[in-house]
Structure 1
Amino acid sequence: MSPSPAAPLRTVLVGAGGIADAVHMPSIREIGDELIVVDTVVEIDDDRRTAFAEKWGVPHRTSSLDDALARHPDLVILCTPPSLHRDQVMACLDAGVTVWCEKPPALSLADYDAMTAGERDGGPWAPIVFQQRYGSGAEHARTLLTSGALGRPLIAHCQTTWFRDEDYFAAPWRGSFSGDGGPIMALGIHQIDLLLTLLGDWEQISAQIARRSRDIETDDVATAWVRFADGTLVTIANSAVSPAQESHLRIDAEKATVELTHLYGYDNDDWRYTPAPGVPETEAATWRNGLPNERSTHTPQLRTLVADVLAGRRPQASGDDGRKALELVTALYKSALTGQIIRRGSIGDGDPFYAALNGGISF
Structure 2
Amino acid sequence: METKYRVGIAGAGIGWLHAAAFQELGNWFEICSVCDINEARALNLAETCGAKATTDFQQLLEQKDLDIIDICTPSYLHTQQTLAALRAGKHVILEKPAAGSLREVDEMIAADRSSEKRILPIFQQRLGVGVQKLKFLQSRGLTGRAYLCVAETAWRRRPEYYETWHGRWATELGGPLVTLGIHAHDVAMHVLGPAKRVSAQIATLVNPIETEDCAAISMQMEDGSMASFSVTTGCAREITRHHFCFSRLSAESNFEPYGNTSEPWTFSGDTPEIDQEIEQALLEFKPLPEGIPGLFYRYYQAIEKGTELPVTLQDARRSIELITAIYYSARTGQTVGLPIESDHPYYNGWFE
Cα distance in 2 for residues equivalent to 1:20 and 1:37: 14
Percent identical pairs in the alignment equals 28
1:88-146, CA deviations, whole angstroms, 9 ceiling, x for partnerless residues? 00001112211001112112222222233210377312221100011222122112124
Residue 56 (structure 2) aligns with: 64
Q: Secondary structure at the match of 1:222?
A: strand
Q: How far is the alpha carbon of 1:179 from its aligned partner?
A: 1.8
Q: How far is the alpha carbon of 1:280 from its aligned partner?
A: 4.6
Q: How far is the alpha carbon of 1:82 from its aligned partner?
A: 0.6
Residue 15 (structure 2) aligns with: 20
Cα distance in 2 for residues equivalent to 1:294 and 1:317: 15
Residue 101 (structure 2) aligns with: 108
| Aligned pairs (5 A) from 1:164-313 | 164-171=157-164, 173-180=165-172, 181-261=174-254, 262-266=256-260, 268-277=262-271, 279-288=273-282, 291=285, 296-313=290-307
Cα distance in 1 for residues equivalent to 2:204 and 2:37: 34
Q: How far is the alpha carbon of 1:274 from its aligned partner?
A: 1.3
Cα distance in 2 for residues equivalent to 1:270 and 1:219: 31
Cα distance in 2 for residues equivalent to 1:51 and 1:281: 51
- Choose from 322, 344, 348 the match for 2:338: 344
Change (3 A) 1:294 1:244: farther
Q: Secondary structure at the match of 2:309?
A: coil
Asked if 1:325 corresponds to 2:319, the answer is: yes
Cα distance in 2 for residues equivalent to 1:308 and 1:268: 23
Contiguous gaps of at least 5 residues in structure 1: 1-5
Give the TM-score normalised by the residue count of structure 1: 0.90
Asked if 1:142 corresponds to 2:135, the answer is: yes
Cα distance in 2 for residues equivalent to 1:125 and 1:284: 37
Mean Cα displacement is larger for which, 285-294 or 45-54? Answer: 285-294
Contiguous gaps of at least 5 residues in structure 2: none
- Cα root mean square deviation, aligned: 2.1
1:62-101, CA deviations, whole angstroms, 9 ceiling, x for partnerless residues? 2222222222321110110011111100001112211001
Q: How far is the alpha carbon of 1:349 from its aligned partner?
A: 2.8
Off by >6 Å, runs of 4+ in structure 1 = none
Number of residue pairs aligned between Structure 1 and Structure 2: 349
1:251-303, CA deviations, whole angstroms, 9 ceiling, x for partnerless residues? 11111110112210146532111121454542232353654566742110011
Give the TM-score normalised by the residue count of structure 2: 0.92
Aligned AA for 1:8?
Answer: K
Are the counterparts in 2 of residues 160 and 187 from structure 1 also a CA contact under 8 Å?
yes
Change (3 A) 1:161 1:267: closer
Are the counterparts in 2 of residues 257 and 274 from structure 1 also a CA contact under 8 Å?
yes
Cα distance in 2 for residues equivalent to 1:82 and 1:48: 18
Residue 28 (structure 2) aligns with: 35
Cα distance in 2 for residues equivalent to 1:49 and 1:284: 48
